[in-house]
Homo-oligomer: A and B are copies of this chain.
């Protein structure tokens, strides 16, 4: 649980940046080399590489080097951590809404 929580912290911080979200978005269409990606973002290569490393360190993307080309691939499963957390919150709200509805129905029946 502590590990899951630390991983989720990392994923959330990694996604809390417009450039890194744009990289995730781009890689959703398929793998790309660091060079191809860097050309799409208006910043110096060292700055861009920092973003790539943050995404990789949090396992949101995976990179493989072949010769001089490093190819980045999205790790969709990692985003599922966030999906799962959101789904868990929804289950709590919906459970609460169900209880509220039942309370209203029960109250109405009591008044009849």
Contact = CB atoms under 8 A, between A and B. Distances in A.
The main secondary structure of chain A at its interface with chain B is helix
Interface residues of A, number: 28
Contact of A18 (B5, B16, B29, B30): B5
Tell me how many chains of this kind the complex includes: 2
A22 to B, nearest CB: 9
A36 interface: no
Contact of A25 (B9, B16, B21, B89): B89
Interface in A64-110: 74, 76, 79, 82-83, 85-86, 88-89, 92-93, 96
21 contacts: A5-B21, A8-B16, A9-B17, A9-B18, A10-B16, A12-B12, A12-B13, A12-B15, A16-B16, A24-B89, A25-B89, A25-B92, A28-B89, A28-B96, A29-B92, A29-B96, A76-B93, A82-B82, A82-B86, A83-B86, A86-B86
